[in-house]
Amino acid sequence: MLAYSYMLEIPYWINVHKVLVKYKKIIFKLFTFSYFLGGSIIAFGFYLFNNYPLIYLIIQSLAKSFGTLALFMFLATLTPGILSRFKIFPLFASSIVLFRRQLGILMFITAMVHSFYLITIPGIMTSQFGPDFLTIRDLLGSLSLIILLPAWLTSNNYSQKKFGKIWKIIQRVTYISLVMIFIHVAFTSLKLGVLTFGVFLLEFSSWLKVWFFDKK
Buried (b) or exposed (e) across 3-38, using 16+ Cβ within 10 A?
eeeeeeeeeebeeeeeeeeeeeeeeeeebeeeeeeb
Residue 8 has pLDDT above 80, yes or no: no
pLDDT of residue 133: 67
pLDDT digits 0-9 by tens, 75-113 = 999 999 999 999 988 888 999 999 999 999 999 999 999
Residue-wise pLDDT for 140-185, tens only, equals: 998 999 999 999 999 999 999 998 889 988 888 888 888 899 999 9
CA–CA distance, 214 with 108 (Å, rounded to integer) = 32
Whether the per-residue pLDDT at 7 is higher than 70: the answer is no
Write down the pTM of the prediction.
Answer: 0.89
The structural domains of the chain, with segments of one domain joined by +, span 2-210
Could you report the per-residue pLDDT of 34-61, keeping only the tens digit for each? 999 999 999 999 999 999 999 999 999 9
